[in-house]
Structure 1
Amino acid sequence: MQRQIYLNGSYVPEAQALLPIFDRGFLFADGIYEVCAVIDRRLVDVDLHMKRLVRSVGEIGIALPVASAEVVEIMKELVRRNRLVEGVVYMQVTRGSAERDFHYADDLKPNFVAFTQDRKIVTPKLSTGISVDLQPDIRWQRRDIKSVMLLAQVLAKHEAGKKGFNDVWMVEDGFITEGASSSAFIVTKDGRIVSRANSQAILPGCTRLAVLRLAEETGLLLDERPFTVEQAQDASEAFLTSASSTVTPVVRIGECVIGDGKPGPLTRRLQAIYLDQAMKGEPLFALDDAVSLGASA
């Protein structure tokens, strides 16, 4: 069965899902994307992702081509059609297609594409932890907008991989901003969870916000403030969050081992709370005939 793609109002097999070469997302990275996790047939944090999608397109003046409620239904339908048990739904909205020109007409019709990706979200890394490289943050100044302009992150992740790291955290003026595709957290030696406050310097992470809310409801101590590389490497625990990695322990930052080199108790507690919350929704289809893309459910 070919994967079904949503493209500008229709569900089509992926071989037929084609965009014009004059799409401004292709020519100028003039577009927005959003990613929502699927765990055991359930969409996770969908309301948070929809709010961020609406905000991002608004920040660059693109009209969302369908209503927010319809976008949610499109995601659900893609999960059902593709029998996605675990993975992500990717959505992208570009300004539209026109002859290549920096200037654009205000009445361009946006292009909207969405597809599923079969991917393990709950992986052994959640139990063992990962290492993150440190690299200069060379991205543009509006990192709060979830732009498809990701070249800096692509290069940073590739370089980190060549050096043997699992991921990378970005550094600006001695402070960690965020991961290349995640939010960065540390836990101080007195048990406080520290995460940089939202601003134009970082993307407002949906999983980050969900974790902060759950931590507050649980009575954990929170500080929203910048932290330096040295503070991160001296922390008792560290972790990152994103839709595709939930709450992932970080056990090495650069060449410094964090704590005892194993996921810390507070990180593991947040993992459990978050995954428990993610599993409370109703599955989008029954498992009797469910087959994940390329693997049995």
Structure 2
Amino acid sequence: MASPRALPTPISATSFFQSKPTAHSLNSSSVSKNLSFWRNGSGLLQLITLGSTRSRSNAVENSSPTQFSSESSQISDVPILSCSEATEKLRTTRETYESKQQYLAMYSSIFGGITTDPAAMVIPMDDHMVHRGHGVFDTAAIMDGYLYELDQHLDRFLGSAAMAKIKLPFDRETMRRILIQTVSASKCRKGSLRYWLSAGPGDFQLSPSGCHKASLYAIVIQDLSPSDNKGIKVITSSVQIKPPQFAVMKSVNYLPNALSKMEAEENDSYAAIWLDEDGYIAEGPNMNVAFVTKEKELLMPRFDKILSGCTAKRVLVLAEGLVKEGKLRGTRVGDLTVEEGKKADEMMLIGSGVLVRPVVQWDDQIIGDGKEGPVTQSLLNLILEDMKSGPATVRVPVPY
């Protein structure tokens, strides 16, 4: 696995830092306003601006030598790290904070392989997914050594990449094989696999025309959080929903989603529900929403303006069994007003992370009788059973 080259000579050891500058020396015409340093062979230039405006110059003139010496000392105290030192710092930092998620393996097309060291699970800063948000992602659950709905998620993944105009670095079958091998290397038998396609590294421009090649990343996550199927509260989001062009694409541009989730947490709620431009119920920040009407019909919002949920679509298929049992009269995808939703007998969130989670309150409105609904519980049981013993179309074995 390739690794970044270290600085041949630490900048802190160069002559510039060997003596502390004084106010007099800084005012000398021989000192440039911009002092630059470069790393041999990297083509990366770092600029330290010491005085680019008249006000800055005046501030320096009015500063005492002692004051500026203190500031200079703070600047020179910033360490210059070698590659190995930086990696060790990252490893130590990870060990200092607790997390309910463990990262067991990562694939990077930049490295051309898989690593199981969390300190090596990094991506280049000039990757356009980092500084421009030009990337897409998707996920698949790992249950009992099987990847659940891998192909369904992979198809959506490639569709998102096409909408984002990201040229594939590999064909579909190669990417599928890489994802399975990454899970195999992780030894994880219950968790999740998340993967990204990026326009790739190359520069810090807006256009990806300078990117060398699209990048593929994948990581296996084991979440140690206890499962919780209790009923939750949701609110109506005040954060504007993404326009359909971007809502149907699973891109890394999740700032509206994050703000929506934060708004919910600030109001002691689990999630915030988005409405579309016509006022109809749309979706949650990273899950679909569904209702059981008083007519015992399972109803979901249409997928033409929101993300097409793989788990939600699978729920619609599995719900046909409840129709045959008489627990539901039918299933339907269509428009639903907020008033209709709040009057439903049951409400639920559906997604790869939450599976099927009952909602017992929306804003100030209690849903149904305020308890977890029987249909919601039945659908959760069906999904869990499908993940553990469903057909080969939704379960891909991992060769450990």
**TM-score interval (norm. to shorter):** 0.7 to 0.9
* CA distance in 2 between partners of 1:180 and 1:74 (Å): 29
Structure 2 distance, partners of 1:23, 1:154, is 22
Pairs within 5 Å for 1:8-157: 8=109, 9-12=112-115, 13-105=117-209, 108-119=212-223, 123-125=227-229, 128-141=230-243, 142=245, 143-157=247-261
- Note if 1:216 corresponds to 2:317: no
- 2:338 is equivalent to residue 229 of structure 1: yes
**Which one has a larger percent strand, Structure 1 or Structure 2?**
1
Equivalent in the alignment of 2:289:
184
Q: Tell me what 2:368 maps to.
A: 259
Quote the offset at 1:232 in angstroms: 1.2
Partner Cα separation in structure 2 for residue 42 and residue 121 of structure 1: 20
Aligned to 1:175: 280
Distance change in 2, residues 1:274/1:266 (3 Å): same
Residues 170/153 of structure 1: CA separation in 2 closer, same or farther (3 Å cut):
same
Query: C-alpha displacement at 1:2, in angstroms?
Result: 7.5
**SS in structure 2 opposite 1:34?**
strand
Question: 1:284 aligned to 2:398?
Answer: yes
**C-alpha distance in 1, partners of 2:225/2:179?**
17
Question: 1:120-162: per-residue Cα shift (whole Å, max 9, x none)?
Answer: 688222xx22211211352432200001000011111112112
Alignment partner of 2:270 out of 142, 166, 180: 166
- The answer (yes or no) to whether the contact 2:199–2:215 under 8 Å persists in 1 is yes
Deviation at 1:266, TM superposition (A): 1.2
1:81 Cα deviation after fit: 2.1
Amino acid in structure 1 at the alignment position of 2:291: I
Q: Measured at CA, do residues 42 and 122 of structure 1 come closer, stay the same or move farther in structure 2, by a change above 3 Å?
A: farther
Q: CA RMSD in A?
A: 2.2
**Which has the larger displacement, 262-271 or 80-89?**
80-89
- Structural mapping, 1:201-212, within 5 Å: 201-212=305-316
> Tell me, which stretches of 5 or more residues in structure 1 are unaligned?
287-297
One-letter amino acid matched to 1:130: I
- Larger Rg computed on CA atoms: 2
Cα distance in structure 2, aligned partners of 1:70 and 1:216: 35
CA distance in 2, matches of 1:203, 1:83: 31
1:232-282 CA distance string (max 9 Å, x none): 111000111111111111111112111111221111111111211111247
Letter of the aligned partner of 2:104 in structure 1?
R
Distance in 2 between residues matched to 1:137 and 1:216, nearest whole Å:
35
Identify the range of structure 1 (181-190 vs 209-218) with the bigger mean alpha-carbon deviation.
209-218
CA distance in 2, matches of 1:21, 1:282: 34
Query: 1:193-230: per-residue Cα shift (whole Å, max 9, x none)?
Result: 1111111x200111011111222355341121121111
What SS class does the counterpart of residue 212 from structure 1 fall into?
Answer: helix
Task: Tell me which amino acid in the other structure corresponds to 2:284.
Answer: G
Q: Please tell me whether the aligned partners of residues 234 and 272 of structure 2 are also in contact (alpha carbons under 8 angstroms).
A: yes
Return closer, same or farther for 1:164/1:2 CA change in 2, 3 Å cut-off.
closer
- 1:232 partner SS: helix
27-36 or 74-83, which deviates more: 74-83
Shift of 1:22: 1.0
The answer to whether 1:269 aligns with 2:269 is no
Structure 1 position 238 matched with structure 2 position 340: no
SS in 2 for 1:66: coil
Q: Which residue of 1 aligns with 2:302?
A: 197
Does the 8 Å CA contact 1:169/1:180 hold for their aligned counterparts? yes
Any conservation in 2 of the 1:137–1:171 contact (CA below 8 Å)? Answer: no
Q: Secondary structure at the match of 1:179?
A: coil
Would you say 1:7 and 2:111 are equivalent positions?
Answer: no
Give TM-score scaled by structure 2 length: 0.66
Tell me the distance in 2 between the aligned counterparts of 1:52 and 1:20. 25
Describe the shift of the 1:228–1:137 C-alpha distance in structure 2 as closer, same or farther (beyond 3 A). farther
Q: Which has the higher helix share?
A: 2
Normalized against structure 1, the TM-score is what? 0.88
Contact 1:136-1:171 at 8 Å conserved across structures: no
Tell me which moved more, 53-62 or 208-217. 208-217
Single out whichever of 156-165 and 58-67 deviates more from structure 2. Answer: 58-67
Residue of structure 2 in register with 1:289 after alignment = none
Q: Give me the whole-angstrom Cα distance separating, in 2, the residues matched to 1:106 and 1:20.
A: 15
Q: Distance in 2 between matches of 1:44 and 1:190?
A: 32
